[in-house]
Amino acid sequence: MSSTLPLHVIQLGDEAPDFTAQTTEGEIRFHQWMGDNWCVFFSHPKDFTPVCTTELGEAARLKGEFDKRNVKIIGLSVDGLQSHQGWINDINETQNTTMNFPMIADKEGKVSQLYGMIHPKADDTFTVRSVFIIDPDKKVRLMMTYPASTGRNFAEILRVIDSLQLTTYHSVATPVNWNEGDECVILPSITDPEELKRKFPKGWKEMKPYLRMTPQPNK
């Protein structure tokens, strides 16, 4: 039977909904907590589950990489604070790390609903594995959705942050399988020869008028 509840759908470019929540590092107001940073906000189906345990361990180990990129990370699971604390002990013990970012205790599912993290046809209680990458203006810049059974790839999360930050501040896009340091694509909208020379002093290769490759501008 289809639901009559209005579905809250977040789209790229929307303002990330603000909320107040209890976390393992105290109560936060989300936008205020982010400050002028970027944010990776990711959900976990449930506490004391194996895939989530490995993901949270990896995120904690990569904290230095997120810090370098001015990115704050925050997790969410639909269990309470006491449960989170017990689980964090297990994560620290088994994943050779110390949890170093907050986990939202979303027992009533308010934040999960706000962000569309519960997909009833997958599971009507637990969240899917959502990732929202939010910029310092609080705009949603990237979303990924994985099922509970597939752990996320944190190398890919760092890769897309690098692409988002590069393409936000320079007039390029990143091509297939791009990684930090690889050639970039010049935005087709840039056609003025003087602007091209100023923005791409290292030069470019033109294969088609719309397909021009240039060395990564900020390297």
Give the separation between CA 78 and CA 141, rounded to whole angstroms: 24
Q: Does 92 bind ligand BEZ (CB under 6 A)?
A: no
CA angle 15, 103, 67 (to 5 degrees): 70
Residue type, 165: Q
Instruction: Say if residues 13 and 139 touch (Cβ distance below 8 Å).
Output: yes
Give the separation between CA 99 and CA 78, rounded to whole angstroms: 18
Task: Give the x/- contact pattern for ligand BEZ in 18-37, rule: CB under 6 A.
Answer: --------------------
Is 52 a residue of the active site?
Answer: yes
Give the residue with the Cβ less far from ligand BEZ, 46 or 170: 46
Structure token pair of residue 160: 């897309």
Task: Give the x/- contact pattern for ligand BEZ in 40-79, rule: CB under 6 A.
Answer: -----xx--xxxx---------------------------
**Rounded to the nearest whole angstrom, what is the least distance from the CB of residue 148 to ligand BEZ in the complex?**
4
**Rounded to the nearest whole angstrom, what is the least distance from the CB of residue 64 to ligand BEZ in the complex?**
25
Q: Which of 34, 40, 52, 185 is catalytic?
A: 52
Give the separation between CA 107 and CA 166, rounded to whole angstroms: 37
Give the separation between CA 86 and CA 205, rounded to whole angstroms: 56
Q: 122, 144, 148, 173: which one contacts ligand BEZ (CB under 6 A)?
A: 148
Positions touching ligand BEZ (CB under 6 A) are 45-46, 49-52, 148-149
